[in-house]
Amino acid sequence: MSASVTTDILNFIEETLGVAQIGLTYSTDAFDIARFHRLRASAAALLGRLEGVEVEKLGKWIAYDEHYATPKLDVRALVYDAQGCVLLVQEKSDELWTLPGGWCDMGESPSASAVREVEEETGLQVEAVRLVALFDKLKHGHPPQIPHAYKCFFHCIVTGGEIRPETDETLACGFFPVDGLPALSLHRVTEDQIVSLSRHVARGGQSCLFD
């Protein structure tokens, strides 16, 4: 199956899940509610076959959010050393590298999430000094993946702490030249994003890039 067909199928599944979720949020008719449950179950089954994930696990994840369907928010931290090298972490899940970050937690601001993620994944304490970019993941060359997400990139400066070689979620971390990046976890970040955003930070531009 070609990448474009896979992307189209994933987009269809995500849109179907969103319609079902919105229907379950606002419907009061018992028959309609049953139909939306069946629609969601069918979409989950198709997604499971496509991704090779057990339907039971997908069902628990999909059923977790019963509110209006909206994109999730992923935060990433741009942290540099004195030589302009960028801080990356190696994920245990795929053994590839990415900017420190992850999903926002409930009750936490995006910048606070970025700061927390850096400390959890690297041991470094940082301060988020500005929002560099707010991107739609669908528009930046990431491999197809559910759920739809927006990506917040914050420029952060180190204020303390010490690098930990390994954490619960990461195998390693370190600073890399922007023109000498290791193999990246493309679901999380792309080389173009790191290069272009690092240039934007280096120029001292105060504008926030966005889609």
For the whole model, what pTM was predicted?
A: 0.74
Which is higher by pLDDT, 74 or 25?
74
Q: Are residues 21 and 42 in the same domain?
A: yes
Q: Are residues 10 and 31 in the same domain?
A: yes
Cβ-Cβ contacts under 8 Å for 175 (sequence gap 6 or more): 80, 81, 83, 85, 86, 87, 88
Q: Are residues 51 and 144 in the same domain?
A: no
Q: What is the pLDDT of residue 56?
A: 64
Q: Are residues 149 and 119 in the same domain?
A: yes
Q: Is the pLDDT of residue 64 over 50?
A: no
Q: Which domain holds residue 18?
A: 3-64
Q: Are residues 103 and 29 in the same domain?
A: no
Q: Is the pLDDT of residue 168 over 70?
A: yes
Domain end, chosen from 64, 84, 106, is at 64
Highest mean pLDDT among 2-6, 54-58, 60-64, 119-123: 119-123
d(Cα 153, Cα 87) in Å, to the nearest integer? 13
Q: Are residues 108 and 201 in the same domain?
A: yes
93-125 pLDDT tens trace: 999 999 999 999 878 999 999 999 999 999 999
- Count the domains in the chain: 2
Q: Are residues 60 and 147 in the same domain?
A: no
Specify the residue for token string 């189209």.
Answer: 8
Alpha helices in the chain (DSSP H): 3-26, 30-51, 55-64, 110-122, 191-202
Q: Is the pLDDT of residue 44 over 50?
A: yes
Q: Are residues 54 and 102 in the same domain?
A: no
Q: Is the pLDDT of residue 174 over 70?
A: yes
Q: Are residues 55 and 80 in the same domain?
A: no
Q: Is the pLDDT of residue 57 over 80?
A: no
Q: Are residues 16 and 89 in the same domain?
A: no
Domain end, chosen from 19, 35, 64, is at 64
Q: Is the pLDDT of residue 61 over 80?
A: no
Q: What is the pLDDT of residue 102?
A: 96
Task: Report DSSP letters for 140-156, one per residue.
Answer: TTPPP-SSPEEEEEEEE
Q: Is the pLDDT of residue 40 over 90?
A: no
Q: Are residues 83 and 166 in the same domain?
A: yes
Q: What is the pLDDT of residue 23?
A: 84
Q: What is the CATH number of the domain that holds 138?
A: 3.90.79.10
Q: Are residues 111 and 34 in the same domain?
A: no
Domain end, chosen from 46, 64, 82, is at 64
